[in-house]
Amino acid sequence: MKNSFIYFFLTLGGIFIIFLINFLNENINEAKSYNYVGIEKYDPIKYDEKHNIKLLFVGDIMMTRSVERKINDLNKKFIFPFLNILNYLKSFDYVIANLEGPISDKGIKVGSIYSFRMKPEVSEALSKANINIVNLANNHIFDYSKIAFEDTLKNLEKNNIKYFGNSYEPLIIEKEGIKIGFLGFSDFLKHLEVKENKIGVALINSNLSEIIKRKG
C-alpha cells in the first residue's frame, strides 16, 4: 500500500513537470515573437565592443598635507601616486573623482583647521593619470575662498579636465553617439549655494521640484 502511494505521487509529479515544461516553452516562444512597442530591440552592431564607454568612479582626490609631504620627501612629481596604476586608469574613457579641495596657489584659508589646497601642478598630474572628470560639490572646495575656487576652474580647464557640481545643470559628455550626464550635490556650504550670477555649489537638500524647474 505504501509503495502504491509513492508510485502515485511520483507519477503525479512527473506529469506536473511535463506540464510545466510545456507551459514555459509556449510562453518563451510567445515572448520571443511579441512586439514590444516602445522598447528598442538589441542591435549587435550598435552595441558592439567599439561602442562601449568605460567609466571608472574613484573616491576623493586630496593631494596636499601628508600626501604632498611624502611626494616632496621622495623628490617626486604629483604623478607619482598614480604610476603603478597608470595603464589601468588609461584603459577607461573617463575616470571620475571627487576633487576634495581647490587646486590653486591663490586665496586665503577660510575653512576649518582641516582645510585643503592643492598646488596648480596637481591638475596636470590628474590629466596625465586620465582623471578627466571631477566633482566640485563637497565641503572643502571653498576652503581658500572664491578666488581659489575660480582659479581651480581655470587650472582644470587648462588641462582638459571637465567638472560638475558647481551648477544644477548636468555635465553632459557624448561619445560614440551616447550621452551621459553627471550631477554632483553637497550637504555642506549652504551659504555658498550656486545661484544665478553667483558661483557656488549645488546642494543636495534643495527642493527637487526647484532643481527640475532650473533645468527647464
In 3D, which of 118, 92, 88, 83 has the Cα closest to residue 104?
Answer: 118
Read off the pTM: 0.74
Domain membership of residue 202 (yes or no) is yes
How many angstroms separate the CA atoms of 69 and 66, rounded? 5
At residue 34, the pLDDT reads 43
Domain membership of residue 157 (yes or no) is yes
What's the domain range around 119?
A: 49-215
Span 146-201, pLDDT tens digits = 999 999 999 999 999 999 999 999 999 998 888 999 999 998 888 999 988 889 99
Domain count, the chain: 1
Span 21-64, pLDDT tens digits = 454 455 445 444 444 444 455 454 455 566 689 999 999 999 99
Domain membership of residue 44 (yes or no) is no
How far, in whole angstroms, is CA 86 from its chain's centroid? 19
Domain membership of residue 70 (yes or no) is yes
CB distance 119 to 151 below 8 Å: no
Domain membership of residue 6 (yes or no) is no
